Structure 1
């Protein structure tokens, strides 16, 4: 049984057993084509204005989803208009955690690292190790 969580972005589906799955890759391609017109953050470090789906893009998205899961607020929750959010993305302005959130500094550090330029982002292995350490710390 699959259902969409209200907390997660609409392209993250969660099985009844709690396993999260990414969906809607067709829409991702359309969004990437649109972002090419505005020099997406991914393009700033490349000479060509070609955006491609990659592990690094997934890491960037992971940071956004982690922020949403940990704070129950979407990135740029305080910005009312989509075109303003797009402008902030193009200028490289990153989301901020909600002031009322109590996100751990180590979690915020990982999220911010996910939004660094491609070559500086953590690897999948780094993220898996971080999540494993945090999960282990919760076990009595």
Structure 2
């Protein structure tokens, strides 16, 4: 239970606390966390109209939470609009980090399975390798988290999920694995500087052009100043 105990010891306003594990809610153990009123970032964006300030503020919160995790040697590994949760005060909290490693630690006779998950839309394609006709997940790193942050920035600034124009997650995975990145939706107010920075987050892993957490924080602060917002 090392990963679970590590999560329970993390304390940051933008990281969802883990209280423990419950075994009485079905066939699989459940992770016990606080209730977050507004649901996922996907829900929050769908249900609210945001100013640029609000969009950048949420982005700063997500990056602050991720910076805290990385500072404590924790890789999230699965950042998406589905597991960034928002409370009724507009506070964003990262959840489900290292979730597959957590599940691996929980004794259970069977593990959940399914098709290609929606989170693939936010995921670094370098996490998937094609071998003998099968797609096998690789180990997430801090840099793969940075790729996902680029996708979150795109979602916040445009209001649309990555690959908004493609409904099938399998098709998204195929395109992503071929190096085809999400489009910027038309008729949005994304600037060339913002779009260029998002694309830097999507640079091939290992290249120096993929920004570090500190540079993302600086970029968001700069965008707030450029917009004349305190």
Q: Structure 2: give runs of 5+ residues left out of the alignment.
A: 1-34, 46-79, 104-115, 118-124, 130-135
1:15 aligns with 87
Distance in 1 (alpha carbons) for counterparts of 2:161 and 2:183: 10
Q: Is the 8 A contact 2:83 2:96 kept in 1?
A: yes
Q: Which residue of 2 aligns with 1:136?
A: 225
- Structure 1, unmatched stretches of 5+, are none
Q: TM (normalized to structure 2)?
A: 0.50
Compared with structure 1, are the counterparts of its residues 50 and 10 closer, same or farther at alpha carbon in structure 2 (3 Å cutoff)? closer
Partner of 2:206, secondary structure, is helix
The corresponding residue for 2:142 is 55
Which residue of the partner structure matches residue 70 of structure 2?
none
**Conserved? CA contact 2:127–2:140, under 8 Å:** no
TM-score (norm 1): 0.78
Secondary structure of the 1:13 match is strand
Aligned CA distance change for structure 1 residues 29 and 91 (closer, same or farther; 3 Å): farther
Q: CA deviation at 1:24?
A: 1.9
Q: CA RMSD in A?
A: 2.8
Please identify which structure carries the higher helix content.
1
Deviation, structure 1 residue 42: 4.0
Q: Tell me the matched-pair count.
A: 130
Are 2:136 and 1:41 aligned? no
Shift of 1:107: 0.6
Extract structure 1 runs of 4+ deviating beyond 6 A: none
Work out which of the two has the higher radius of gyration on C-alpha atoms and give 1 or 2.
Answer: 2
CA distance in 1, matches of 2:102, 2:138: 9
User: Would the aligned equivalents of 1:42 and 1:118 in 2 still touch at CA under 8 Å?
Assistant: no
CA contact 1:13–1:22 (8 Å) conserved in 2: yes
Match of 1:119, SS?
A: coil
Cα drift, residue 50 of structure 1:
6.3
Question: Could you report, residue by residue, the CA deviation over 1:25-61 in whole angstroms, capped at 9, with x for unpaired residues?
Answer: 325988xxx79xxxx42467xxxx7622321111111
